[in-house]
Amino acid sequence: MKKKVLSGHNFHREPFQVLDDLFDVTYPPTGHFKKDQILDIIEDYEVFIPNFSFYTDKEIIDKAKNLKLIANFGVGYNNIDVEYAAQKGIAVTNTPNSVLEPTAELCFGLIHAVARRIGFYNNKLRTPEGLSWGLYDNPGIAIFGKTLGIYGFGRIGQAVARRAIAAGMNIIYHNRKPVAKGIEEQYNARYVSFDELLSQSDFITINAPATPETYHIIDEKAIDKMKSNAILINTSRGSTVDEVALIKALKDNRIFGAGLDVFENEPRINPEFLTLDNVVLTPHTGTQTIEGRYDMQREVAENIINFYNGGEISKVN
């Protein structure tokens, strides 16, 4: 008898074909299962696939008497009570490989969009009043020759650095500890303290996971240490930025601008962001390419298959 897999989301079937061939997979008829629907049926399943926006909490884990694996669709796993799952002997996997390049692409795309004011120009040109075409009106900021400060120099941070080098930028970074010397040399990157990152960077990207240590790592005090023409980019998790402090800084032109793909209360976005011309907003689309989403599904499928076959999995607990 095939192992039973419960998919919380009505994923596209093509990249899950190998999963459908080997397992008995249940999908919602449309959209996604709601929590009460999952609670009603999860006891019958050994594997659960939650979308990164669905929180798998203690109540669900307690109800899932036969659960062996939570195969998360996403690299972050703050949507899962990982510690409690571990206590119950349930493995948790994620998809770190497939999210790498698309997230770095969007991160660097936001750097361009904010620095060169692409969103601002596009929006103003579509209005009846338009905008001035004067030689020095509404200028952007150059990227070439500037310093990019990367907070979180892991795989995604390094993928951003690779793009920054091609654009002629200088790289500094901050981690809990420096990376290997060979990695620093590869990107000509220099480890600095967090305060130095804030004060020396023309652009700052947040590429760190959501943890108690990273909660509101960018707050009013941090913003006060930034350059007056600094640009902040966040494609990691909304909890890393104090949105109230950032909105105030953007309103006061304390920094040049920001590019945000993640928010504290997703899918709700603080409406004050929508009134500002110096912020570019995207709806948590770091991996939202056709290729990226399909690759994530394939990585989920590989994790499930390898979990039962003894192969390599992206285990987080």
Residues marked active site are found at 237, 266, 284
* Surface-to-core class of residue 2, CB atoms within 10 Å of its CB (0-12 exposed, 13-18 middle, 19+ buried): exposed
Q: Which residues contact 48 (CB under 8 A, 6 or more apart)?
A: 5, 6, 8, 38, 42, 56, 60, 64, 67, 69, 70, 71
Tokens 């600094």 appear where? 230
* Surface-to-core class of residue 39, CB atoms within 10 Å of its CB (0-12 exposed, 13-18 middle, 19+ buried): middle
Q: Report the SS3 class of residue 51.
A: strand
Q: At what angle do helices 290-309 and 100-115 cross, to 10 degrees?
A: 150
| Closest to 152 (Cα-Cα) out of 127, 176, 121, 171 | 176
Neighbours of 121 (CB within 10 A): 13
**Integer CA distances (angstroms), 265 to 94, 166, 217, in order:** 22, 34, 17
